[in-house]
Each structure stands twice: as C-alpha cells, then as structure tokens.
C-alpha cells in the first residue's frame, strides 16, 4: 500500500505517521510520503521507501506532483488554523480551500485518465457549526460557520462529497473535536488555553485561564484523533451513502471539570498553577463555539473517543510525559 | 439607486426586470444593467440608463467590469441548470461556483479600496438538500446535496455568508422552490414536467407525465419568485444575523393535486391532454428530491408564496395567457 500524508509535520500528522510505522493499519506499507510546507522528520523504523516532501498544496502543480505516484491512501490534514485564516483572508482561502480543491482536482484528472481512485481521509472541524445551538448538536444540524476557517472546511466537505459521489475518489471527512491535551508549544488557535491549563501544570509550569470555569466545550485526545483517522482509512464507505462527512465523538466538559480531572491526576499543587486572567475577547469568541454533540452516526460506525476527562489526561501523561507528572 | 442583474436573460431575470421597471422597489432607479451570457432584451419603459451587457461572469476580469460602476443592489441569478451541471462537471463548477466567487471577490477588492458595500441577493436552490428527508425539512436541516449543481449552490451560500460576516457586502441567499408554472419552452431541467403538465394543456397542447400521481414536490410560481427577490432586496439583513441563507416558502403538492387544480381551472378536456409515459430514470431522480419544507424562518421574515395550487395556476393564466385558457 502506498500512503500519502499531506500536513504530516503537524501534531496530528506526526502522531499518525508514528501509528502507521507501528503497523496500526492492516497490510504492508510499500511507500510513505510525508508532505508539508515544512520538512516532516522521518521517524525511526520508517519503511525504506519513506520520503519527506516540502511543498505547498496550493502552489500550481503541487497537487499533481504529490499524486503522481498514485497513492492508494491519502490523509489530507493540511490547513492553517482558525486564528490565522481569520487574520489573513486570502491565505486562508488559498491554503484551506484552494489547496484542498487542487488536490481533489488532481485526483479527478488522474481518475479520468487511468481510473485511479484512492481512499481519501480529510480532517474537517466542528468550526463548520455556528451558534445558536441546541443542547447537543445532532448529526443533521446545518452548517453555518462563524469563521472563514469553518467556511473553508465546510466547502471542502461539500467538494469531498461531490467528488466521491461522482466516483473520482473514495472520500470521508471527519470533524475533529478540539484536541486536548495538545502537546508542545502553543499555536495560534484561540482554543489553546483548554490544553494549556492541563499541559503546563502537569509539567510544573503556570498556565493562564482566560475564561470562566463554566465554559463548556467538546474534546478528544490526540490519541483519539489518530484512532479516528485509522478507523476512517479502513471503514467501508458504502456504509456512509452520500453523506460522507461525520462529526467525531468526544467529551463535552467544562473548564471546571477539566480542572477537577487535573486535581485527581496531579493534586492541588498542579491546580494551583492555573492563574485566572479574564480575557473578554477570548471569552466572547469561545462563547460562540459548539459545546456538545450527539455524534450518534460516527459512534454507530465504530468511531471511539474517550469517555471521561480523566482518560484524556491519562493519554497525555502516557504519550507525552513518559507516565510521570510534575 | 444603481441596480445590476446578473442572469437577466433567464425567465426569472426577465420577470424581475419588468417588476423593477414597474417601480416595485422604493426609490428611483438611476441605472439598470442587465447582464447575461446572451443579450438580455431591454423592455419598454426601462429607465434611460438601462444597458444590456453580454458577459460570462466566470471569464477573467468580467466580474470586475460588472461592478466597476458600483451598483448599490446586485441580483445574482446566473447559473447553468442541474442537468447541465451534472453532465458537464467543469462547466458547472466554472459557471455556478467560480463565477459566483469571482463576483464576490471583485466586490471585496473594491470594498478594501473604497469601502464599497452593496446589497447582494443570490438565488440558491433546494437542491442543496439530499435525501433521506424528514416529512417537512426544517430550517436547520443539514446540506448534503446529491448533485454537483446543489454542491455549487451550497458552496456559494457559504461564501455569501462569510463575505457578509466579514463586511465585504450585505448578502442574502434565497433557496427557490421549483418554479411552476415555468412559461415558454422546456429547459434542460429534469423537473420540467411539473410545469409541462399544466402549461401545455392550458394552451390546448399535449404534455407527457413521466412519474406517478403520488409524486410530491415543492413549488412556487414565477410571480412568487419575483416577490421573494424584491422582498430580499429590501429586507433589513440585521434580522438574519450570520445565517444569511433562507429556504423560501412554497407549496408541497403531489402531481395528482396539480392535476386536480388544472381540472378546476380548465376542465376535464385539459386534463385529458396529459399523457402518462412512465420514465423510470426521471422517476428515480425525482424520488431523491425534497418534497416538503417547514420554511418558518423565511415566513416570519415576511416572505410569501402561494397558499394553494389553484393560486399558482391563476398566476400563470393571468401573467402568461392574458387571463384565458385553452
């Protein structure tokens, strides 16, 4: 099997790469291409035919080159985050929408020539939804994004469904919850504090909390995100019909519930490292975000997330901290 | 007020032009530009500054030229129909999506330069919805089109909402029901028979019925469509919030109910002109289409359609047949 990961240098891309190298998908990997706008490092144990390709999917010809080898399985994870897409309108549409369309179109042109028809897994986002919301957003709730990022993802979903319906590739789009605990340095996402208030105290550092403890949001761990991607890659898409885009399961939790899970994992000492610094601008932004979903469809198709915030913290301690806190 | 109609040569565009010339909008029309890929005829009584412009919105530079005069109000009705967009994938995306995006982007560039911010009314379609459906599709039902045409319209809706949210123009998208009774010659739309079985017998001609009398669909008259456009043009969009796209009201009726309304209007003689010629391909296509909506949101915002199929037939007889049948 030939696999292409676009956006391989990002946090989810790196973890997915490791999972593939660890043999988490059935079958032998004949080649693995790690593509991103920066060099994706090739982990130890990677198959011989592993290449890192630095390219911008939205550059003319870039998509054609990426699929010239006709990968059987494509993970399209590449995107600029919501804050950046909102700050730079042109870049957001170019990278998040035109890049996606260029990929789909390159596959279509190859399909028309040679009947090439890969499996394609696309990461979408709960940012395709916009308030006001019902208590739990159902699978058939409409898509009214309140950000350019959400708009670009929703348009990508529509294209994916149409290109799949027309038989150009076999696509599935998965809407990731907010990933928590996100390891490493903060990125430009306004949602960063949801991870920061756990990640930093678990490493003995202070973290700022800009919103109230009542703030509720929708979460899954990086480990769950990789599991979603692997499950999507092997899922029989005949079960999806024409509705190829799915809200992934997750946990609806308040900041207060996050903090209590941190207390159970690492004690009062860790919790004391959270410094309340109200930021009305962040609070206003977050207030417009989804808080809870009924992700029945994905669950019935076998997608699984954590069942408690304790599990999310355990995943972080095991996967990032070698099993130790503080 | 300067008005631009894109897609002015189509059936709805021509009727809208007549309504504008008849003074159906408040204020004086300072200029009226009728744009289409074919020459739109200028009706009697048009204001002095009325021009017909033959252009393809998806050609490079075409959108910029159309908005160079900075129209205050833009009606964007231009599209190729569903059958053609399905048959010619590239043309469908080029005209229905890229053309729309080019228009929005030309306005944005002018907005960035001069704060130009027109009102923009975009005609979308119930083809953004795909089966399976609830009995009546609510306003918050998700968008899973089963045609490339529906996909292109759904993407246009998303762009319209995002460009409006960012303040580049003041947009509103209206999803028209199937227009019935469509006057004139049949076009490439598979829905043509819904009009044909009324229009042809009302003029003493035979018409083919390819589906069963139980087939249910969602209708409004051309007169109602023009009323929707005029209402959208004057509506205070602050009432819409960020949800700028609306399903228009209509009538849910079966083919059998259509036929009974025809009988009441023109007698058994007219009904006898309908020739049943089952077409399984058309029947299968139509079976996937929406049958009924709960268009509460548009209704509460003052959009009005017919209340019965008798009214739809009356509108046709009055507007197209000079009040006479047979």
Would residue B163 show up in a list of annotated catalytic residues for this protein? Answer: no
Residue A30 has pLDDT above 90, yes or no: yes
Q: What's residue B37's pLDDT?
A: 97
Q: What's residue A237's pLDDT?
A: 96
Q: What's residue B85's pLDDT?
A: 94
How is residue B2 written in tokens? 């300067």
Tell me what the mean pLDDT of segment B293-310 comes to. Answer: 97
Other C-beta atoms closer than 10 Å to the C-beta of A292 total 17
Residue B23 has pLDDT above 70, yes or no: yes
Q: What's residue B324's pLDDT?
A: 85
Tell me what the mean pLDDT of segment A51-59 comes to. Answer: 97
Which of the two residues, A102 and A289, has the higher pLDDT score?
A: A102
C-alpha closest to that of A120 among A100, A139, A99: A100
Q: Which of B130, B140, B159 sits opposite A242 (nearest CB)?
A: B130
The string of DSSP codes covering A133-198 is --SSB-TTB----SSHHHHHHHHHHHHHHHHHHTTS-EEEEEEE-EESSPPSS--S-TTHHHHHHH
Q: What's residue B326's pLDDT?
A: 64
Question: B290 CB near a chain A CB, below 8 Å?
Answer: no
Contacts by B41-47, CB closer than 8 A, 24 or more apart: B41/B9, B41/B14, B43/B14, B43/B17, B43/B18, B45/B21, B46/B17, B46/B21, B47/B21
Q: What's residue B193's pLDDT?
A: 95
Are A142 and B145 an interchain contact pair (Cβ–Cβ within 8 Å)? no
| Confidence at B62, pLDDT banded by 50, 70, 90 | very high
Q: What's residue A309's pLDDT?
A: 96
Q: What's residue A240's pLDDT?
A: 96
Residue A187 has pLDDT above 80, yes or no: no
Question: What length does chain A have?
Answer: 326
Chain B nearest C-alpha distance from A290 (Å): 15
pLDDT in tens, B206-263: 999 999 999 999 999 999 999 999 999 999 999 999 999 999 999 999 999 999 999 9
Q: What's residue A326's pLDDT?
A: 64
Chain A nearest C-alpha distance from B301 (Å): 18
Residue B103 has pLDDT above 80, yes or no: yes
A130 CB neighbours in chain B (<8 A) are 242-243
**Residues of A labelled catalytic:** 149
Tell me the three state secondary structure of residue B316: helix
Q: Which of A89, A140, A144 sits opposite B166 (nearest CB)?
A: A89
User: Given CA atoms A253, A308, A9, A119 in this order, what sign does their dihedral have?
Assistant: negative
Tell me what the mean pLDDT of segment A278-289 comes to. Answer: 89
Q: What's residue A132's pLDDT?
A: 95
Q: What's residue A153's pLDDT?
A: 98
C-alpha closest to that of A12 among A94, A70, A75: A75
| Confidence at A285, pLDDT banded by 50, 70, 90 | confident
Rounded CA-CA distance B266/A40 in Å is 73
| Confidence at B187, pLDDT banded by 50, 70, 90 | low
Are A140 and B142 an interchain contact pair (Cβ–Cβ within 8 Å)? yes
The residue whose two tokens read 């972080």 is: A316
Rounded CA-CA distance A274/A198 in Å is 9
B166 CB neighbours in chain A (<8 A) are 89, 148
Residue A188 has pLDDT above 80, yes or no: no
Question: B126 CB near a chain A CB, below 8 Å?
Answer: no
Q: Identify from A140, A166, A175 which residue to disrupt to test chain B contact, counting B C-beta atoms within 10 A and taking the largest count.
A: A140
Q: What's residue B188's pLDDT?
A: 65
Instruction: Please report, for residues A23, A107, A162, B193, B280, the alpha-carbon distance to residue B283 in angstroms, rounded to integers and kept in the order given.
Output: 48, 32, 22, 11, 5
Q: What's residue B305's pLDDT?
A: 97
Residue A213 has pLDDT above 70, yes or no: yes
C-alpha closest to that of B108 among B63, B62, B151, B145: B63
Q: Which of B146, B158, B165 sits opposite A154 (nearest CB)?
A: B158
Question: B135 CB near a chain A CB, below 8 Å?
Answer: no
A162 CB neighbours in chain B (<8 A) are 145, 148, 151
Model ipTM value: 0.96
Tell me what the mean pLDDT of segment B69-79 comes to. Answer: 97
Residue B176 has pLDDT above 70, yes or no: yes
* N-terminal to C-terminal alpha carbon distance within chain B: 42
Give the pairing type, strands A216-220 and A251-254: antiparallel
Q: Identify from B87, B111, B158 which residue to disrupt to test chain A contact, counting A C-beta atoms within 10 A and taking the largest count.
A: B158
Which of the two residues, A215 and B48, has the higher pLDDT score?
A: A215
* Cβ neighbours for B236, distance < 8 A, ≥ 6 positions apart: none
Rounded CA-CA distance B298/B317 in Å is 27
Q: Identify from A88, A96, A137, A162 which residue to disrupt to test chain B contact, counting B C-beta atoms within 10 A and taking the largest count.
A: A162
Q: What structural domains does chain A harbor?
A: 2-177+221-247 (3.40.50.720), 192-218+251-292+306-320 (3.90.25.10)
Tell me what the mean pLDDT of segment A274-285 comes to. Answer: 92
Q: What's residue A203's pLDDT?
A: 93
Residue B36 has pLDDT above 70, yes or no: yes
């Amino acid at each position: 099997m030939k696999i292409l990961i676009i956006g391989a240098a990002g946090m989810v891309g790196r973890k997915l790469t490791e999972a593939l190298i660890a043999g988490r998908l059935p079958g032998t990997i004949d080649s693995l291409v790690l593509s991103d706008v920066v060099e994706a490092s090739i982990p130890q144990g990677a198959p011989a035919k592993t290449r890192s390709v630095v390219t911008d999917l939205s550059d003319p010809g870039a998509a054609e080159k990426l699929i010239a080898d006709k990968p059987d399985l494509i993970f399209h994870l590449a995107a600029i985050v919501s804050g950046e897409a909102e700050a730079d309108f042109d870049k957001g549409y170019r990278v998040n929408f035109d890049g996606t369309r260029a990929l789909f179109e390159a596959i279509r042109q190859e399909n028309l020539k040679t009947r090439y028809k890969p499996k394609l897994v696309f990461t979408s986002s709960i940012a395709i939804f916009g308030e006001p919301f019902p208590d739990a957003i159902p699978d058939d709730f409409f898509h009214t994004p309140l950000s350019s990022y959400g708009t670009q993802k929703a348009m990508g979903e529509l294209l994916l469904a149409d290109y799949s319906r027309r038989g150009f590739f076999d696509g599935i789009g998965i809407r990731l919850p907010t990933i928590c605990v996100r390891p490493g340095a903060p990125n430009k996402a306004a949602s960063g504090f949801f991870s920061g208030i756990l990640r930093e105290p678990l490493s003995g550092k202070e973290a700022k909390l800009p919103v109230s403890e009542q703030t509720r949001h929708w979460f899954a761990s990086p480990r769950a995100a990789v599991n979603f991607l692997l499950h999507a890659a092997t899922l029989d898409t005949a079960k999806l019909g024409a509705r190829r885009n799915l809200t992934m399961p997750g946990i609806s939790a308040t900041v207060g519930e996050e903090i209590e899970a941190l207390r159970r994992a690492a004690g009062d000492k860790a919790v004391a490292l959270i410094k309340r610094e109200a930021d009305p601008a962040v609070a206003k932004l977050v207030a417009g975000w989804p808080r809870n979903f009924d992700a029945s469809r994905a669950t019935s198709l076998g997608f699984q997330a954590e069942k408690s915030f304790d599990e999310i913290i355990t995943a972080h301690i095991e996967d990032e901290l070698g099993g130790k806190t503080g």
